[in-house]
Amino acid sequence: MAARELAQQLKTRFGDLISEPAEFRGEITVQLSAADRIAEICDFAKKQLGFDFLVDVSSLDNYGNDPRFTVVYHLYGYGHHCPLRIKTGVGEEESELPTVTGVWKTADWHEREVYDMMGIRFRGHPDLRRILMWEGYPYFPLRKDFPLSGKPSEVPEVAFTKPAPMEGGPFVTIAGGATSTAREPRVREPETGGQATVVAPSKEGK
């Protein structure tokens, strides 16, 4: 069965809560209009439609728009080999969704990462702690109002306490350059004065 047919079954079951399936580059996406129903929707998708694997949970910051955030659930079924993407909007004020850890245990770390980077909370999560930043860090680095250079930390001697420099800094891609490798910030060395140093691949191991 094709992903579009499975998505249509989801819409038939939940009616106006689910948008018409949209296809982009061979992948099917549906939009859920009631974020509080996400766990119920996902449970149906797993048990009735065979989406037994939660590939990822990601998030978008629609800064300046309402709802501010979009949470995206990437599903896959090993029985029918079909992917499905479910999107739902989350407002800045509530910034909370029900957890889907009761549907897929792997949601545990996915939801923790979304919370850590974007500040969206998952109600009912068994252990909603930061997973990359330290506990007590007051910001959410993937929000669009978080500056690329970072913010000073209020926790002395923990990670970085000053913003990173922008010009020639580690997060700034070099303009121009013959290849994407030459523009990659991570190949830059301090003594090059901001110019990329491309290291030729070693012949060892070939």
Q: How confident is the model at residue 161, as a pLDDT?
A: 57
Show the domain range for 99.
3-142
**Count of H helices and E strands in the chain?**
4, 7
DSSP for 101-114, written as a single string: TTT-TTHHHHHHHH
Tens of pLDDT, residue by residue over 2-44, are 999 999 999 999 999 999 999 999 899 999 999 999 999 999 9
Determine contact, residues 69/62, Cβ cutoff 8 Å.
yes
**Ranges of the chain with pLDDT below 70:** 154-161, 167-177, 180-206
- Is there a domain that residue 194 lies in? no
Please report, for the domain that includes residue 91, its CATH number: 3.30.460.80
Residues 127 and 158 in one domain: no
With 0.85 as the threshold, say if the pTM is over it.
no
Could you tell me which residues are beta bridge partners of residue 89? 70
Question: What DSSP element (H or E) covers 181?
Answer: helix 180-183
Long-range contacts of 193-200 (CB under 8 A, 24+ apart): 193/168, 194/167, 194/168
Q: How confident is the model at residue 178, as a pLDDT?
A: 72
DSSP helix/strand/coil, 146: coil
Q: How far apart are CA 159 and CA 164, in angstroms?
A: 12
3-state secondary structure string across 74-89:
EEEECCCCEEEEEEEE
Q: Which residue has the tokens 């939940």?
A: 14
Q: How confident is the model at residue 137, as a pLDDT?
A: 83
Residues 151 and 95 in one domain: no
